């Protein structure tokens, strides 16, 4: 918890200095209880900036490859991240996500499952719908603007571009939907939030 708090302080500072980080709709963030923070994903900066903008301590699903570096793995685990194997059905990661949500923790998820190359939404993965429907937690949609220009996929150079995080109103999923339908509904809510910004 201490490392999370200290890390978030410096990430907020980093975001404010380099990207003039701003957040809108913070009043929509639930003050307690679990929820899934579902956002678009266009840059490596996104998890950092979303965590900085959100007033609640988040859980993070991070690609397994990042945990191969012992120092990075230590930091990730201490800022509430856990590994997920991409392109496969990772039962261990699903169990960890369910544990966090059932324990009342908010969880950051990207419905696409990875970063977009062109900034456009790709197909939503059913996992986000499955987790929300199994736990009955609300979805808090978010849209991050400016991070692609600040640091696009495949780039390591940072540009001084303004980043804005917009939080929408929470909603619950229809239990009669399939996981795929639920995931696409979440995706469309994120897109609508971005278009209205």
Q: CATH number, domain at 103?
A: 3.40.1130.10
171 DSSP 8-state letter: B
Query: pLDDT tens, 15-39?
Result: 999 999 999 999 999 999 999 999 9
> Does 115 have pLDDT greater than 80?
no
Counting the structural domains of the chain, the total is 1
The domain of 86 spans: 2-196
pLDDT at residue number 65: 93
Q: Containing H/E element for 165?
A: strand 164-167
Query: pLDDT tens, 55-106?
Result: 999 999 998 999 999 999 999 999 999 999 877 777 889 999 999 999 999 9
**162 CB burial (10 A radius; 0-12, 13-18, 19+):** middle
């Amino acid at each position: 918890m201490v490392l999370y708090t200290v890390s978030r302080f410096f990430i907020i500072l980093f975001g404010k200095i380099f990207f003039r980080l701003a957040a809108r709709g913070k009043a929509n963030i639930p003050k307690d209880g679990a929820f899934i923070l579902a956002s678009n994903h266009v840059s490596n900066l996104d998890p950092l900036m979303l965590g900085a903008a959100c007033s609640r301590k988040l859980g993070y699903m991070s690609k397994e490859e990042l945990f191969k570096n012992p120092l990075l793995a230590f930091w990730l685990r201490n800022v509430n991240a856990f590994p997920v194997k991409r392109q496969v059905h990772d039962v261990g990661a699903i169990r960890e996500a369910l544990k966090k949500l059932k324990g009342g923790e908010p969880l950051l998820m990207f419905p696409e499952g990875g970063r977009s190359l062109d900034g456009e939404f790709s197909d939503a993965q059913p996992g986000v719908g499955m987790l929300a429907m199994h736990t009955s937690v609300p979805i808090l949609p978010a849209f991050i603007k400016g991070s692609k220009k600040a640091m696009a996929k495949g780039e390591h150079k940072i540009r001084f571009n303004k980043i804005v995080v917009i939080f929408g109103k929470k909603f619950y999923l229809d239990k009669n939907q399939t996981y795929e339908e639920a995931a696409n509904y979440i995706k469309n809510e994120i897109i609508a939030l971005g278009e209205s910004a």
